Amino acid sequence: MKNFLYFTIAAVVTLLGSTIMACTNFLVTKGASADGSTFISYAADSHVLYGELYFRPAATYPAGTMMTVEEWDTGRKLGEIKQALNTYSVVGNINEYQLAIGETTFGGREELHDTTGIIDYGSLIYITLQRAKTAREAVKIMVELTDEYGYASEGESFSISDPNEVWYMEFTGRAKKANNAKLNKKGLLMVAYKIPDGYVSGHANQARITTIKKADGKTSITTNNLAKIFAPDIECVYTADIFEYCKAVNITSATSFDNFIFCDAIAPLTQNTARSCESRVFAGFMKFNKEAIKDYEDYARGDNLQHRMPLWIKPAEKVTLNKMFDVMRDHFEGTSMDMTKDLGAGPFACPYRWRPMHFTVDSVNYVHERATSTQQTGFSFIAQSRSWVRNETGGILWFGVDDSYTTVYMPMYCGINKIPSSIRVGNGSMAEYSDSSMFWLFNRVSNFAYSRYSDMIVDIQKEQRELESGFQKDVLNYSASSDYEKAKNMSHEEAVEFATLYSNMAADATFQRWEKLDKYLLVKYIDGNIKKTDEKGNFKTTKYGKDRIEFPSQPQYPEKWYRAIIRDCGDNIRVKE
């Protein structure tokens, strides 16, 4: 996401870079998942992005129709492009053919940013989802659109999945002028790799592709032969003149294509981008396969930039949907960057730090960690595509609003034609509170929990687990039931109706449950006390009536926190004997 903050203290900008990065993606291939699904995850992290589920219905247009492109981040009109004759239905970031796309912005070299381009990164996602059926077709369309109309954004990484394959694509513009006129044209500096089946990958606001597999026409091609991308053995595609251009504009010191490092040319790695971006990939990889990745912590901390992590790894165990939830709910637990352990977590282990991320004390620069799970998330999802299930119910966008650690991932089937009212576009905004908005309800709960996190998170996770496990059972039971056998013979319209009814029910059930939780937490934790409860969660009362509660618990702060208070003002608060 490009909606990020700028840290303005000059010394810190010089040392650590100017942007606070957002968004995290993980990619899981069919052979790496427990049930043969493909997964991509995405957290849309922005301090100004509202959590809602977008919907673009399928449509047919007359020949010659033009469509207006508005920049996703700002709403600014960029220009017009030719509309497709037929477009596909898109629910959030997945379309009716189970094709899903996510992204993270890495920015990269400012001089490569083409300000004359018409298609920004966000519009490129949604236009492509309306026009492509497979990951390979998506790569092709994204290249063709930007070649024709120019790319309007900074450096970007994309996760692209369909029911059978997962691709990782990385690109930036090519606005810097070369002495060779043939190299000066619209379009991209682009590399796309098919993730090997059985492996997982990830990206988080830092370009990650190092070497490029040289075109041989059999497994790797350039954009000059883009039509060949549909050959099943093709696993790499890149801009035909990528090395020549980078040499001509002096952004690489490589002497040949064989030692050309793509990510170093377009977005040089720094200590800051390793610590704030690559560290999130490291944390996710740790959950997929600790033994394979644990030795890269020096790289993730930014202490050893030469010890670069691999682009993909093989998971220790087949990846389940619950594992994907877990990967997206990470605060560096189990690493030296664990956000629940240091004094910044407060007395109740709150794993969040308010911005800015960088600060200076006594002329020394410091940094708060930037974890996958963060407070400013607008929405996040895990896109699941299943090749053995008909499209309307095969693709599921497990969608949640607000902080991924406290959200509930609800199953939004890709075939729905009506978005649940609580997450529908227009129901509230970042500037307008709405009582019926899922985003605002979840923020009420999470923001209250930040005040006594270690206690309240237990109550939140209980509700979260019950809802998510229930939804998973419903999806699994439906897939194994006689109703599912009947569904194979359903008309498209009947399948869409079923998908829509269930997804809307799931959202309604979540909203109702969270309304009760919101009130329960307020009653239980009012004024820093904790009301005592029985095994069912009911508040304990005295023998004198149900409105007479037992005296609440008042747990002490951890000793570490008391010692910090004493170091700060011990003599002033010391009790004189």
CA–CA distance, 394 with 412 (Å, rounded to integer):
11
Q: Using pLDDT thresholds of 50, 70 and 90, give the confidence band for residue 479.
A: low
Count CB atoms within 10 A of the CB of residue 37: 28
Q: Are 330 and 372 in contact (CB under 8 A)?
A: yes
Average pLDDT, whole number, for the chain? 94
Q: How confident is the model at residue 480 (pLDDT cuts 50, 70, 90)?
A: low
From the CB of residue 424, how many other CB atoms can be counted at a distance below 10 Å? 18
Q: Quick one: how many helices (H) and strands (E) in the chain?
A: 16, 22
Q: Check if the beta carbon of residue 503 is closer than 8 Å to that of residue 433.
A: no
pLDDT for 16: 32
Q: Whats the size of the chain, residue-wise?
A: 577
Q: How far apart are CA 133 and CA 137, in angstroms?
A: 7
Q: Which amino acid is at 522?
A: L
Place of tokens 């509309």: 83
Which pLDDT score is estimated for 201? 98
Q: Please say if the pLDDT value at position 433 is more than 60.
A: yes
> Helices 492-525 and 453-480 meet at what angle, rounded to 10?
160
The residue among 44, 61, 59, 55 whose CA lies nearest residue 90 is 55
Residues 215 and 221 sit within 8 Å (Cβ to Cβ)? yes
Query: Could you tell me what percent of the chain has a pLDDT over 90?
Result: 92
| Helix, strand, coil share (%) of the chain residues, nearest 5 | 35, 20, 45
pLDDT classification of 17: cutoffs 50, 70, 90: very low
Residue 177 near residue 184, CB atoms below 8 Å: yes
The residues with which 60 forms a beta bridge, in sequence order, are: 86
Q: Which residue has the higher pLDDT, 438 or 7?
A: 438
Confidence label for 1 from pLDDT (cuts 50, 70 and 90): very low
- Burial (CB count <10 Å: 0-12, 13-18, 19+), residue 221: buried
How many beta carbons lie within 10 A of that of residue 486, not counting itself?
10
Taking 50 as the threshold, does the pLDDT of residue 378 lie above it?
yes
Average pLDDT of 388-396? 96
What per-residue confidence (pLDDT) applies to 485?
61
pLDDT, tens only, 290-334: 999 999 999 999 999 999 999 999 999 999 999 999 999 999 999
Determine the average pLDDT of the residues in 135-144: 98
Q: Are 352 and 374 in contact (CB under 8 A)?
A: yes
**Between 492-525 and 438-449, two packed helices, what is the crossing angle to 10 degrees?**
30
Residue 8: is its pLDDT beyond 60?
no
How would residue 11 be classed by pLDDT, with cut points 50, 70 and 90?
Answer: very low
- 192 in Cβ contact with 215 (< 8 Å): no
223, 208 contact by CB (below 8 A)? no
Q: What is the pLDDT of residues 403-412, one digit of tens each?
A: 999 999 999 9
Minimum mean pLDDT range among 19-28, 206-215, 445-454, 515-524: 19-28
What is the C-alpha separation between 121 and 22, in angstroms, rounded? 14
The Cα–Cα gap between 62 and 43 comes to 36
Tell whether the model's pLDDT for residue 3 goes beyond 50. Answer: no
What does the pLDDT read at residue 545?
A: 85
pLDDT (tens digit per residue) in 71-130: 998 999 999 999 999 999 999 999 999 999 999 999 999 999 999 999 999 999 999 999
CA distance 41 to 380: 8
* Measured CA distances, 61 to 64, 125, 387, 465 (Å): 8, 20, 30, 44
Residue 16, SS3? helix
CA atoms within 13 A on the CB side of 279: 32
> Is pTM, for the whole model, over 0.85?
yes
The tens digit of pLDDT for each residue in 223-234 reads 999 999 999 999
Residue 47 has pLDDT above 70, yes or no: yes
CA dihedral 100, 104, 110, 114 (to 10 degrees): 20
pLDDT at 2 over 60: no
Tokens of 319: 């990846």
Cis-peptide into 356, omega within 30 deg? yes
Type and span of the H or E element at 366: strand 364-367
Instruction: Please determine, for residue 139, whether its predicted confidence score (pLDDT) is greater than 60.
Output: yes
